[in-house]
Structure 1
Amino acid sequence: MKDFISSEERGELAKKGSYVGIIGNLMLALLKFSIGILSGSLAIIADGIDTSTDIITSFLTLIAAKISNKPADFSHPYGHERAETITTKILSIIVLFAGYQVLVSAIKNLLSGNKTIENPLWVLLVAAISVIIKYLLYNYKLKIGKKINSSSFIADALNMRNDIFTSLAVFIGILIFYFTGIPWIDSVIAIFVSIIIFKVGIEMFIETSDELMDGSKELGDIYKMIINICDEYSEIQNPHKIRVRKSGFVYFLEFHIEVNPNMIIKEANKLTFKLEKEIKEYNPYIKDIIIHVEPFGNIENEEFGLDKDSINKLFNEK
Structure 2
Amino acid sequence: MAAGPDRDRSDRRTAVRRVLVTALVINLAMSLLKLTVGLISGSLAVIADAMHSATDALSSLTGLITNRLSDPRPDRDHPYGHHKYEGIGALGIAGFILFTALEILLRAGERLLDGLPAIRVTSNELVLLLIALGFNLLLAAYEHDQGRRLNSALLKADAQHAASDVWTTVVILIGMSGALFFDVNWLDVALAIPMALLLIRVCWSVLKRTLPWLVDHIAIAPESIHAEAMQVAGVLNCHDIASRGVLGQQVFIDMHMIVEADDLRTAHRITELVEDRLDQRFGPVRCTIHLEPKDYVEQEITYSGTHG
TM range (shorter): 0.7 to 0.9
Give 1:1-318 correspondences, 5 Å limit: 6-69=8-71, 71-215=73-217, 219-220=219-220, 226-237=225-236, 239-246=238-245, 249-260=249-260, 263-286=262-285, 288-294=286-292, 295=294, 298-299=297-298, 304=303
- Against the structure 1 CA distance between its residues 140 and 224, is the aligned structure 2 distance closer, same or farther, given a 3 Å change threshold? farther
CA contact (8 A) 1:50 1:197 kept: no
Distance 1:101 1:70 in 2: 36
CA distance in 2, matches of 1:172, 1:305: 56
Q: TM-score, normalised by structure 2?
A: 0.84
Residues in 2 aligned to 1:18 and 1:108: alpha-carbon distance in whole angstroms: 34
Runs of 4+ residues deviating >6 angstroms: 300-303
Q: Give unmatched runs, 5+ long, in structure 2.
A: none
1:309 aligned partner = none
- RMSD value over aligned CA atoms? 3.0
Asked if the contact 2:104/2:192 (under 8 Å) is kept, the reply is: yes
**Could you tell me how far apart the structure 2 residues matched to 1:148 and 1:161 are?**
19
CA contact (8 A) 1:95 1:200 kept: yes
Q: Which amino acid aligns with 1:161?
A: A
Per-residue deviation, 1:234 = 4.5
Q: Is the 8 A contact 1:42 1:187 kept in 2?
A: no
> What SS class does the counterpart of residue 169 from structure 2 fall into?
helix
Shift of 1:257: 3.7
Runs (5+) with no aligned partner, structure 1: 307-318
Say whether the 8 Å CA contact 2:141–2:159 is kept in structure 1.
yes
Deviation for aligned residue 1:84: 0.6
Higher RCO structure (Cα 8 Å, ≥6 apart): 1
Whole-Å separation in 2 of the counterparts to 1:100 and 1:40: 20
1:289 is aligned with what amino acid?
Answer: C
CA contact (8 A) 2:41 2:121 kept: yes
Separation in 1, partners of 2:131, 2:223: 44
Give distance in 2, aligned partners of 1:189 and 1:116.
16
Distance of aligned partners of 1:255 and 1:130 in 2 relative to their CA distance in 1, 3 Å threshold: farther
CA 1:61–1:109 in 2, change beyond 3 Å: closer, same or farther?
same
Q: 1:144 to 1:305 in 2, by over 3 A?
A: farther
User: Once the two structures are aligned, what percentage of the paired residues are identical?
Assistant: 25
Distance 2:34 2:148 in 1: 30
Q: Please, which moves more after superposition, 11-20 or 183-192?
A: 183-192
- Measured in 1, the distance between the counterparts of 2:144 and 2:243 equals 24
- Partner SS for 2:98: helix
- Higher mean alpha-carbon deviation, 227-236 vs 8-17, is at 227-236
Distance 1:206 1:239, change over 3 A: same
* Stretch of structure 1 that moved more, 237-246 or 131-140: 237-246
Q: Give CA deviations for 1:265-301 in whole Å, capped at 9, x if unaligned.
A: 3322111101212322345432x11123444771277
SS at match of 1:163: helix
Which one-letter code corresponds to 2:12 in the other structure? R
